[in-house]
Amino acid sequence: MRSVKKISIGLYCLAAVCLQCVRAKSTTTAEDTAFRAEMVKNAFRHAWQGYSSFAYGHDELQPMTNGTTDSRNGWGASIFDALDTMIIMGLEDDYQRAFEHVKNVDWTKSKDPSKTFETNIRYLGGLLSAYDLRPDPILLDKAVDLAEKVIMPAFNTPNRMPAAYVNVTTGRPVKHNEIVLAEFGSLQLELVRLSQLTGDDRYETAGNYILEKMSQVPSRIPGLYPMIWNLESFTPKNTYVTISGGADSYYEYLLKTNILMSGNEELQLDMWKVSVDSMQNYLRSETHSGKVYLAEFEEHYKLLQTGELVCFMPGNLLLGARYLNDESISQLAHELMNSCYDTWINTPTGLAPETWSWIDKEQNIAVYPEVMQKMMLRSGFIAQDTGYDLRPETIESLFYFYRITGDKAYQDKAWKIFEAIEKYCKTTSGYTRIADVTNMEDVKPLNFEESSFPSVYSYFFAETLKYLYLMFSDPSYISLDEYVFNTEAHPFKLNKPIQVQAKEFK
């Protein structure tokens, strides 16, 4: 991989010419691929330069104004999220500077309470993955220190279910009775890896106990749980079932925890299989033009709405399909992958909208307003929130599809997405959210501040650019046979390799 650096300059013109034939014939040469990897690395360098100049040590840069935000306790979330990406891209000087910052962070100092889930996936996940790639004991010490001071205290509740927030000064859970499926349901991977690396099983026990408790809670649709729960009673508080934000990584981790534990765990894999059956039987919805999306449920109503966030699911399904050798899961994965990708190429900018709805083929399309019928016929969806938040999920799935099927067409798809990001999201100091993917003339850049979500820019370093880079790297580099990625794209080394990657790439 590191060899890419040496050949970059000479490759520019060569690759620029060849890109034309890529489009015509849909074949990529090794030179194209190396060029693409280098372009992605340049994007990282550009964004990191901006962050380093104006926001170093803060959680995020505001890429439109060069301002800063501290949405994740001000410990330097972008640095922790980018550590492994720098190692993977071979950016040694940047890594050394980052490492100095990491050594000196004090987990008990912050003006905000720690959000257990976010601290776990970004800070703990980032440290563990950096340690797996470059085992410096300081990284593991820092991870243990974080777990002890800020993450494990979340479990100091009467029923051992984790509180959403911990006061980092007192080391006590913040009184707050509402917890979210994706948050308490995706702590396992990090805690299991921490136990594996330290030999201290308390972390894994705490994380996996949540799933034992969950398996005893009845769900109306088998294996699919509502998003909001009551902490004290540990029961669902509403009936809203979605695979999107607020639920997503719960489903993702059921499979991945089994993989990380070398199959020495059955409950979570069973829960994953049941949930996938229900996605197939209850949530799967097809349009008149053959697009397939996963719907939502509220009470007894099926809601025909979804979004880019759910586009991690095709990759997770394909990983599970190959791991379990299950053809029907693989088919669902392919249907969802194609439909997800189509939401990108069917907008004028080539960027997917954040959310969309659709008309199911069982419905009489003629009763809908003409404008909706037209949209369905033209693009297969009706955009709701037209923003794009530099999100990685579709790229992530394309990465799994490329690595697992060996089909290089997925590389070309990811490259198209990257080109659109370069064209519409690049600013003088980084990359930014945009509000309107349907308007090529004015995409309305957003600076990561006027959002219902807090500033989330750090995942661009952790996920979007890492998956893009690995997409164009040698497939044996960070192989899916040897690593499992957490929900923030931090790869953890498997104690026992699996066999999911393609043997041939063409």
Ligand X SMILES: *[C@@H]1O[C@H](CO)[C@@H](O)[C@H](O)[C@H]1NC(C)=O
Instruction: Tell me the catalytic residues.
Output: 118, 248, 354, 393
Q: Which residues line the annotated binding site for Ca(2+)?
A: 487
SS (H, E, C) 12-78: HHHHHHHHHHHHHHCCCCHHHHHHHHHHHHHHHHHHHHHHHHHCCCCCEEECCCCEEECCCCCCCHH
Contacting ligand X (CB under 6 A), which of 170, 215, 262, 438? 170
For ligand X, give the closer residue by CB, 20 or 428. Answer: 428
Q: Which residues line the annotated binding site?
A: 487
Question: Are residues 255 and 321 in contact, defined by beta-carbon separation less than 8 angstroms?
Answer: no
Q: Does residue 66 touch ligand X according to CB under 6 A? A: yes
Name the burial class of residue 281, with classes exposed (0-12), middle (13-18) and buried (19+) by CB atoms within 10 angstroms of its CB.
exposed
Shortest separation between residue 115's beta carbon and ligand X, angstroms: 11
The residues in 92-131 that bind ligand X, with binding defined as CB under 6 A, are 111-113
Reduced to 3 DSSP states, what percent helix, strand and coil does the chain have, rounded to the nearest 5? 50, 10, 35
Sequence-distant (≥ 6) Cβ neighbours of residue 287 within 8 angstroms? 293, 358, 359, 360, 361, 376, 380, 381
For ligand X, give the closer residue by CB, 174 or 502. Answer: 174
For ligand X, give the closer residue by CB, 167 or 188. Answer: 167
Residue type, 236: P
- How many CA atoms, within 13 angstroms, populate the side-chain half-sphere of residue 465? 30
Count CB-CB contacts under 10 A for residue 91: 19
Q: What is the CA radius of gyration of the chain?
A: 22
SS (H, E, C) 375-424: HHHHHCCEECCCCECCCCHHHHHHHHHHHHHCCCHHHHHHHHHHHHHHHH
For ligand X, give the closer residue by CB, 268 or 429. Answer: 429
For ligand X, give the closer residue by CB, 64 or 303. Answer: 64
Shortest separation between residue 444's beta carbon and ligand X, angstroms: 16
Shortest separation between residue 166's beta carbon and ligand X, angstroms: 9
Residue type, 434: I
For ligand X, give the closer residue by CB, 112 or 298. Answer: 112
Which stretch, 162-170, 197-205, 279-287, 478-486, contacts ligand X (CB under 6 A)?
Answer: 162-170
Contacting ligand X (CB under 6 A), which of 71, 119, 120, 167? 167
Instruction: For residue 219, give the H/E element and its range.
Output: none
Closest residue by Cα to residue 302 from 251, 357, 354 = 357
Which stretch, 116-124, 165-173, 345-353, 480-488, contacts ligand X (CB under 6 A)?
Answer: 165-173
- With vertex at residue 66, the alpha carbon angle to CA 64 and CA 69, rounded to the nearest 5 degrees, is 100
The residues in 373-432 that bind ligand X, with binding defined as CB under 6 A, are 428-429
Token output for 362: 């069982």
Shortest separation between residue 461's beta carbon and ligand X, angstroms: 18
Tell me the site size for ligand X, rule CB under 6 A: 10
Q: What is the dihedral of CA 184, 187, 188, 192, to 10 degrees?
A: -150
Residues 348, 355: Cα–Cα separation, whole Å: 16
For ligand X, give the closer residue by CB, 104 or 428. Answer: 428
The residues in 4-63 that bind ligand X, with binding defined as CB under 6 A, are none
Shortest separation between residue 111's beta carbon and ligand X, angstroms: 6
Shortest separation between residue 165's beta carbon and ligand X, angstroms: 8
- With vertex at residue 308, the alpha carbon angle to CA 151 and CA 474, rounded to the nearest 5 degrees, is 80
The residues in 424-463 that bind ligand X, with binding defined as CB under 6 A, are 428-429
Shortest separation between residue 430's beta carbon and ligand X, angstroms: 9
Contacting ligand X (CB under 6 A), which of 169, 235, 281, 495? 169
Q: Where do contacts with ligand X occur on this chain (CB under 6 A)?
A: 65-66, 111-113, 167, 169-170, 428-429
